[in-house]
Amino acid sequence: MIYKINFLFVTLFGIGKIKKIPGSFASLATVLFLFFLFHVLKFTPNFVLILIIIIFFISFYAINIFIKDLTQKDPKEVVIDEFIGQSIPICLYEVAHNSPKEIDQVLKYYFIMFVLFRVFDIIKPFPVSYYDKNFKNSFGVIMDDVCAGLYVVAILILFMVF
How many of the other CB atoms lie within 10 Å of CB of 155? 16
pLDDT in tens, 49-77: 999 999 999 999 999 999 988 877 678 99
- The distance in angstroms from the start CA to the end CA of the chain is 51
Q: Is 141 helix (H, G, I), strand (E, B) or coil?
A: helix
pTM, whole model, 2 decimals?
0.93
Contact 61, 47 (CB under 8 A): no
* pLDDT above 90: percentage of residues in the chain: 78
CA distance 112 to 105: 11
Distances (CA, A) of 70 to 29, 41, 59, 154: 26, 39, 17, 35
Contact 74, 18 (CB under 8 A): no
Which ranges of 97-137 does DSSP label H, i.e. alpha helix?
103-123, 128-134
CA distance 121 to 135: 16
**Number of compact structural domains in the chain:** 1
CA distance 91 to 72: 31
Residue 61: which residues within 8 A CB-CB, separation 6 or more? 138
**Structural domain of 96:** 2-161
Q: For residues 15-28, give the mean pLDDT.
A: 97
pLDDT in tens, 70-106: 877 678 999 999 999 999 999 999 999 888 889 999 9
